[in-house]
């Protein structure tokens, strides 16, 4: 019996469903019941009837799933798979902004710990950040922790005063504008599709800026056949699945999230067998960090 067969049998026995982010290994995406970006995964986790969810992603994703579905058993194949950006803001930065600005909303990228969410008024993902910030009644916005997504939102919503902090995704921040420019030279007919976690210079060179699912939809809908992709390489699996005749080029220095890659088929099987590595958020923190997530789901509708 293959490891994939063993996973399927245990899934049925335990009424489990497997969710995977586009950045995990292709073989893990292949056995997933649902694959998506952070927004899709947080919505679907809440709606699924299953008792158990195996969340193939980094810890803030499982944590968010648990906050929105406290009665479900959420299993994390690799509890050490963590997003470094999810920790990149300190409480005193939020306290200082709350003292400095009237009419302030603290807007928190979902790539953050439950504690950071609990300091915030509303969460966003890269798929809905512009829409949500635009529709908030507040003039002043403290955007945490991602300075790159925050700057992109500020450019799209110039009527707001968006205050940034210093957090960033190391994978997207290191995508080099020079490497994107040289790919453009080599493939002049290609469209450049970038994730908003990239730095300013890369976004300037892009034809389209969007979340991972936005990038995948754009490549499918576009009449072009060549694309330069400025995000983590895991999206290639879905890009190729949906667009068999099209060509995708990544920068020479491959953008790879080592935390997402920690999730393997063996670890998925292990959590199904043992029910170890549960996502958990307790007590008062669960209550206060759930509120901004719920508000995101309302405002994103």
Choose among 237, 227, 229: nearest CA to 255.
229
CA–CA separation, 301 vs 297, rounded Å? 7
- Nearest-approach distance from CB 233 to ligand 13P, in angstroms: 12
- 169 in contact with ligand SF4 (CB under 6 A): yes
- How many residues does the structure list for the chain? 301
| Residue 211 interacting entry, from ligand 13P, ligand SF4, none, C-beta within 5 to 8 Å by type | ligand 13P
18, 171, 175, 203: which one contacts ligand SF4 (CB under 6 A)? 171
Residues 196-225 vs ligand SF4: string with x where CB under 6 A?
-x----------------------------
Choose among 112, 109, 119, 261: nearest CA to 197.
109
Say if residues 19 and 56 touch (Cβ distance below 8 Å). yes
Choose among 123, 88, 91: nearest CA to 105.
123
| Residue 259 interacting entry, from ligand 13P, ligand SF4, none, C-beta within 5 to 8 Å by type | ligand SF4
CA–CA separation, 170 vs 110, rounded Å? 16
Residues ≥6 apart with Cβ < 8 Å to 276 = 75, 270
| Residue 118 interacting entry, from ligand 13P, ligand SF4, none, C-beta within 5 to 8 Å by type | none
* CB-nearer residue toward ligand SF4: 31 or 85: 85
Which runs of E-coded beta strand occur in the chain? 16-21, 34-36, 52-56, 73-75, 104-109, 122-124, 140-144, 161-164, 191-194, 208-209, 226-230, 247-249
List binders of ligand 13P among 235-294 (CB under 6 A). Answer: none
Taking CB under 6 A as the binding criterion, the range among 90-98, 125-133, 267-275, 285-293 that sits at the site for ligand 13P is 125-133
Residues 172-191 vs ligand SF4: string with x where CB under 6 A?
x-------------------
Taking CB under 6 A as the binding criterion, the range among 44-52, 81-89, 97-105, 113-121 that sits at the site for ligand SF4 is 81-89
List binders of ligand SF4 among 252-271 (CB under 6 A). Answer: 257, 259-260
| Residue 37 interacting entry, from ligand 13P, ligand SF4, none, C-beta within 5 to 8 Å by type | ligand 13P
* CB-nearer residue toward ligand 13P: 14 or 261: 261
- Nearest-approach distance from CB 84 to ligand 13P, in angstroms: 10
* CB-nearer residue toward ligand SF4: 146 or 191: 146
List binders of ligand SF4 among 52-71 (CB under 6 A). Answer: 58
- 146 in contact with ligand 13P (CB under 6 A): no
CA–CA separation, 46 vs 66, rounded Å? 9
| Residue 79 interacting entry, from ligand 13P, ligand SF4, none, C-beta within 5 to 8 Å by type | none
- Nearest-approach distance from CB 296 to ligand SF4, in angstroms: 17
Phi and psi at residue 208, in whole multiples of 5°? Answer: -145, 135
CA–CA separation, 240 vs 197, rounded Å? 22
DSSP 135: H
CA–CA separation, 256 vs 250, rounded Å? 11
DSSP 24-78: S-HHHHHH-SEEE-HHHHHHHHHH---SEEEEES-HHHHHHHHHH-TTSEEE-S-
Binding site for ligand 13P (CB under 6 A): 37-39, 83, 111, 125-127, 169, 197, 211-212
């Amino acid at each position: 019996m293959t490891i994939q067969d063993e996973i399927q049998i245990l899934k049925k026995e335990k009424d489990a469903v497997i969710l995977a982010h586009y950045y995990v290994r292709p073989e893990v995406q292949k056995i997933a019941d649902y694959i998506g970006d952070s927004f899709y995964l947080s919505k679907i986790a809440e709606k699924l009837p299953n008792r158990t969810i195996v969340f193939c992603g980094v810890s803030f994703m499982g944590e968010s799933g648990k906050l929105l579905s406290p009665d479900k058993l959420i299993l994390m194949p690799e509890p050490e798979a963590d997003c470094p950006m999810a920790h990149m803001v300190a409480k005193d930065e939020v306290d200082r902004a709350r003292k400095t600005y009237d009419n302030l909303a603290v807007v928190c990228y979902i790539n953050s710990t439950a504690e950071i969410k609990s300091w915030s008024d509303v969460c966003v993902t890269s798929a809905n950040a512009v829409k949500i910030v635009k529709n908030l009644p507040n003039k002043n916005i403290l955007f945490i922790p991602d300075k790159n997504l925050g700057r992109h939102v500020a450019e799209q919503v110039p009527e707001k005063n968006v205050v940034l902090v210093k957090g960033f995704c190391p994978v997207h921040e290191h995508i080099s504008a020079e490497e994107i420019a040289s790919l453009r030279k080599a493939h002049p007919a290609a469209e450049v599709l970038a994730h908003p976690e990239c730095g300013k210079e890369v976004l300037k060179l892009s034809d389209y800026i969007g979340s991972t699912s936005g990038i995948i939809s754009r490549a499918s809908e576009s009449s072009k056949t060549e694309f330069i992709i400025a995000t983590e390489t895991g999206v290639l699996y879905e890009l190729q699945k949906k667009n068999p005749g099209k060509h995708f080029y990544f920068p020479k220095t491959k953008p790879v999230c080592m935390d997402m890659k920690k999730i393997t088929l063996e670890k998925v099987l292990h959590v199904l067998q043992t029910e170890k590595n549960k996502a958990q958020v307790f007590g008062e923190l669960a209550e206060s960090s759930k509120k901004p997530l719920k508000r995101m789901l309302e405002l994103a509708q």
